């Protein structure tokens, strides 16, 4: 499905049950609606995280991306999250101590407010010997903790942001003309995303279409 078809389907679904009050859906608003709907589709599937839902978004999964080190501190090393990061999947950490280089250790996610408790807990503090440490996400970084060893590499598996969809024919906020940008989704999934966008549009316009919109999304049409 190309961008032009997406826009025409969006118009059709927005007006098919309102033949007497066709509302112009300009392309700049369509751009915002359809990309927000695309992000919502990803969020819903990640929240469910069952086999069927993950299969629908598997194309967004990036495996074992080597992260760039941002800076290193006494108790932790910060690695930059990728610019297209959307949600977490898995993390692999390599550490070095003395002559033992790039050994895999198990990272466990923690809440930031618990880090000091764990650092002073002998059984839970970062340990090269027991091959374990902890981490959290903060300020677009992966913060990985250490003690008497160094974190040398971190590989992140993550779900990236979906490709933006855009429509030719309006001026963007930065003053540049918009161009068509086709979706990367299959036609079946794109129809569901269009239905989500129409649901949001109807809500914004105060239209009473809750049952119709839900049926569209659930039925995958």
The per-residue pLDDT for 52 is 75
Instruction: Quickly state the pLDDT bin for 118 (edges 50, 70, 90).
Output: low
**Which domains are present in the chain?**
3-58+163-218 (no CATH), 60-160 (2.40.30)
In tens, the pLDDT along 123-148 reads 678 999 999 999 999 889 999 999 99
How many residues does this entry show for the chain?
221
In tens, the pLDDT along 39-94 reads 999 999 998 877 777 889 999 999 999 999 999 888 899 999 999 999 999 999 99
The per-residue pLDDT for 80 is 97
Is the pLDDT at 114 greater than 70, yes or no?
no
The per-residue pLDDT for 206 is 75
pTM equals 0.83
Is the pLDDT at 14 greater than 80, yes or no?
yes
């Amino acid at each position: 499905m190309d961008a032009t078809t997406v826009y025409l389907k969006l118009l059709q679904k927005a007006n098919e049950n309102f033949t007497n009050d066709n509302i112009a859906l300009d392309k700049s608003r369509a751009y915002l609606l359809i990309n927000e709907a695309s992000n919502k589709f990803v969020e819903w599937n990640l929240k469910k995280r069952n086999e069927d839902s993950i299969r629908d978004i598997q194309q967004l999964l990036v495996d074992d991306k080597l992260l760039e080190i941002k800076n290193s501190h006494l108790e932790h090393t910060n690695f930059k999250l990728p610019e297209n990061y959307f949600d977490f999947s898995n993390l692999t950490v390599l550490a070095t101590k003395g002559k033992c280089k790039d050994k895999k250790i198990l990272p466990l996610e923690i809440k930031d407010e618990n880090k000091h408790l764990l650092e002073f807990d002998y059984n839970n503090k970062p340990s090269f010997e027991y091959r374990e440490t902890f981490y959290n996400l903060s300020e677009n970084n992966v913060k990985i903790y250490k003690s008497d060893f160094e974190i040398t590499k971190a590989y992140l598996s993550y779900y990236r942001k979906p490709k933006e969809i855009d429509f030719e024919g309006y001026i963007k906020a930065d003053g540049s003309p918009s161009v068509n940008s086709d979706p990367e989704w299959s036609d079946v999934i794109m129809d569901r995303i269009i239905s989500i966008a129409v649901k949001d549009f109807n809500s914004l316009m105060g239209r009473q279409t809750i049952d119709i919109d839900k049926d569209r999304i659930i039925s995958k049409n």
